[in-house]
Structure 1
Amino acid sequence: MKHLFLTLATITTLLLLLSTPPTTTAANAADNIVYDVIGEPLQAGQAYYMVPYDYSDVGGGGLTWLQKTKVTCAPYYVSQENVNTNFGQKIAFYPQTPGQTDITLSSILNIVFSSFTPPINCPGTSNVWSVAADPATRLNFIELRGSRGTRDLRTWFTIEDVDQGGYKISYCPRNRRVDCGSLGIVSRDFGRWLGVNGTNPLTFVFESEEFFLNKALGTKSYAA
Structure 2
Amino acid sequence: MNHFQLITLATTTLLLFTSTTNGASTVLDVFGDPVIAGSEYHIAPYNYDAIGGGFSWKENKRPFTPCPEFYVLQNEKNTDYGQTTVFQPIDGSSNKVTLSTDINIIFPKVSPPAGLPFFCDKSSNVWKVEDNKKVLLGGKKGGKDSNSVFTIKELKTGGYGIFYCTSSSECLGLGIDPKSKDRQLVVNGQQPVPIVFVSNDLFSKKKYATYVASS
Q: TM-score range by the shorter chain?
A: 0.7 to 0.9
| Cα 1:223–1:105 shift into 2, 3 Å | farther
Q: Tell me what 1:197 maps to.
A: 188
Distance 1:145 1:194 in 2: 15
Q: Tell me what 1:103 maps to.
A: 97
Q: Tell me what 1:130 maps to.
A: 128
Q: Tell me what 1:81 maps to.
A: 75
| Cα 1:199–1:124 shift into 2, 3 Å | farther
Q: Tell me what 1:47 maps to.
A: 40
Higher Cα Rg, which structure = 1
Residue 223 of structure 1: CA displacement?
Answer: 7.3
Distance 1:62 1:111 in 2: 14
- The aligned amino acid for 1:209 is N
Name the SS for the 1:130 alignment partner. strand
Q: Does 1:167 find its partner at 2:160?
A: yes
Q: Tell me what 1:69 maps to.
A: 61
Q: Does 1:119 find its partner at 2:113?
A: yes
> Residues 159-216 of structure 1: CA distance to partner in whole angstroms, max 9, x if unpaired?
001233211111112288xx7410111133421111111664211100001114559x
RMSD: 2.8
Distance 2:168 2:209 in 1: 47
| Cα 1:165–1:141 shift into 2, 3 Å | same
Higher mean alpha-carbon deviation, 142-151 vs 199-208, is at: 199-208
Contact 1:156-1:173 within 8 A present in 2 as well: no
Task: Tell me which protein shows more helix as a share of its residues.
Answer: 1
Structure 1, unaligned runs of 5 or more: 1-25, 135-139
TM-score under structure 1 length normalisation: 0.74
Name the SS for the 1:118 alignment partner. coil
> Residues 110-153 of structure 1: CA distance to partner in whole angstroms, max 9, x if unpaired?
0011111131445331110000123xxxxx11000101114111
Distance 1:129 1:212 in 2: 26
Name the SS for the 2:113 alignment partner. coil
Higher mean alpha-carbon deviation, 34-43 vs 162-171, is at: 162-171
Percentage identity across paired residues of the two chains: 35
